[in-house]
Amino acid sequence: MKEECGVVGVYSFDGKDVAPLIFYSMYSLQHRGQESCGITIINDKLETKKGMGLVTDVFDFGKLTALTGSFGMGHVRYSTCGESMLENAAPFVVSHSQGYLAIGHNGNIANSLELKSSLEEQGEVFVSTTDTEVIAHLIVRGLVKTGDMVSSIQDAMRRLNGSYSLAIATGDSIIGVRDPFGIKPLSLGKIDNTYIIASESVAFDSVNAELIRDVEPGEIIVIDKEGLHSYKGLKKANTAHCMFEYVYFSRPDSVLDGKLVYSVRERIGEIMAEDDPVDVDFVMAVPDSAIPFALGYAKKRGLPYREGLIKNRYVGRTFILPKQTARELAVRVKLNPLIANVKGKRVVLFDDSIVRGTTSARLIQILKDAGAKEVHMRIGSPPIISPCFLGIDMPTKEELIASVKDIEKVREKLGSDSLKYLSIEGLQRAIGKDENQLCLGCLTENYPVPTDQREQEKLVKYL
Ligand code: SF4
């Protein structure tokens, strides 16, 4: 599973060049998207540099120093919809009769095909296949009519159905927008006289800035020469923060909606230990994301935590090999068993989720081949039974193992000695939010926004 994107917006009241701040913020959000990235800086005119690849592939010292200006925005992208090509890389820039705007988006618009057809019927022309362009057209149409940016964004929010955290740069401002349910994260930070808007608070740590607060669900934040202004965009009675941001996607050192992600993951492990008397020699994790679960579990049960799989840190997320045997090799290249630790031992193995089940099955086999006597699999999320239509790249329902098999059948497929998932109730307890505050769509099929069949097909097409 992969996150779609990360956004950053920076405004300096001291007139300092912000490109280095944007670069380092994007660097710390690299886990949210590795296919392409870009920076837009405003300095009398708008200047955008973008390219395919990681932040360090696209930007070097020369490119960064050439981008001078005291406000701008950045974006890292992974495509869940819209192909992987330079035309789809963000920031997406639009010129209009009142000026121009650059926009970056994290999320997925569930009614984008319908909106796009209606805009095309009204004469709009699209140059990319992204939802971001649909959002840009909606805002610009309002702007051309009224000349008012905030009311144009409010109008666009009334028509958009889905998840969106936006960073927007105009000729005189930086704007942050979060969807009415707060599905995707967005935070506000500050260093000296510079404000930063970013997908995760870890971006602030990377530049020594301080987290001020989360951007509220449905809030529009405008930063211009007069200061920071907050406007109500669209409010819903409940929120629907993506539970997977806590379980897997966000960095453990980020604070999301008031919760440190690392603490939530440790708490998940503690909760899973409450009712689990399995007799083992030690607890281990699939590195890195499952480590806090395993530490919380081990602490609660008074068991040792040890490493049993060593990760090759130089194998990137883009390491994809097509054939079955090559994929098996890829798992071995990424994760090697520490035979001295696992041989003859009974272990609890933590992972963050099971999608198709193939990777978990291979890891269990690797541990058994290394001499592990028993492998008891523990999963730090409830079973995923349905795809995500809100910005996370997932396989189809038929490919999700928990949607087609019960827990005992999944255990048989994995080859583990036992298998337990976190319960939905345990997940809510660990995050400290209930079903009226979280999106649990991929666990329950109750999504916070209606999902249209054509939109589902659009997502599947690009998986
Ligand atoms: S459906 Fe699942 S992955 Fe998608 S936003 Fe909701 S909780 Fe997150």
Which of 421, 332, 343, 416 lies closest to 381, judged by CA?
421
- Nearest-angstrom CA–CA distance, 138 and 153: 8
Nearest residue CA, atom 5 of ligand 1? 242
Query: Partners of 224 in the beta sheet?
Result: 227
Atom of ligand 1 nearest to the CA of 394: 3
Q: Does the pLDDT of residue 453 top 70, yes or no? A: no
Which of 141, 129, 121 lies closest to 84, judged by CA?
129
- Nearest-angstrom CA–CA distance, 212 and 189: 5
Determine the distance separating the centroid of ligand 1 and the alpha carbon of 391, expressed in angstroms: 8
Nearest residue CA, atom 8 of ligand 1? 242
Check if 5 is active-site.
Answer: yes
Atom of ligand 1 nearest to the CA of 163: 5
What average pLDDT does the chain have? 91
Over residues 280-289, the mean pLDDT reads: 96
Mark out the alpha helices in 43-185 (DSSP H runs).
55-58, 61-66, 112-121, 131-146, 149-159
| pLDDT-above-90 percentage for the chain | 76
Residue 441: helix, strand or coil by DSSP? helix
- Nearest-angstrom CA–CA distance, 346 and 306: 12
Query: Partners of 55 in the beta sheet?
Result: none
What's the whole-model pTM score? 0.91
Q: How far apart are the first and last CA of the chain?
A: 10
Ligand 1 pocket, Cβ-based, cut-off 6 angstroms = 183, 242-244, 388, 390, 392, 439-442
Determine the distance separating the centroid of ligand 1 and the alpha carbon of 440, expressed in angstroms: 6
Query: Partners of 452 in the beta sheet?
Result: none
Determine the distance separating the centroid of ligand 1 and the alpha carbon of 441, expressed in angstroms: 5
Q: Does the pLDDT of residue 341 top 60, yes or no? A: yes
Nearest residue CA, atom 2 of ligand 1? 442
Contact between 39 and 6 (Cβ < 8 Å): no
Write down the catalytic residue from 5, 81, 388, 439.
Answer: 5
Q: Does the pLDDT of residue 309 top 80, yes or no? A: yes
Which helix (H) or strand (E) covers residue 46, if one does? strand 45-52
Give the β-pairing of 418-421 and 36-43: unpaired
Determine the distance separating the centroid of ligand 1 and the alpha carbon of 354, expressed in angstroms: 14
Q: Does the pLDDT of residue 130 top 90, yes or no? A: no
Max distance between CA atoms of the chain, in angstroms, equals: 73
Nearest residue CA, atom 4 of ligand 1? 388
Determine the distance separating the centroid of ligand 1 and the alpha carbon of 396, expressed in angstroms: 14
Which of 102, 106, 59 lies closest to 78, judged by CA?
106
Residue 53: CB partners within 8 Å, gap ≥ 6?
A: 34, 35, 36, 37
Quote the pLDDT of residue 450.
81
Q: Does the pLDDT of residue 181 top 90, yes or no? A: yes
Give the β-pairing of 194-198 and 5-12: antiparallel
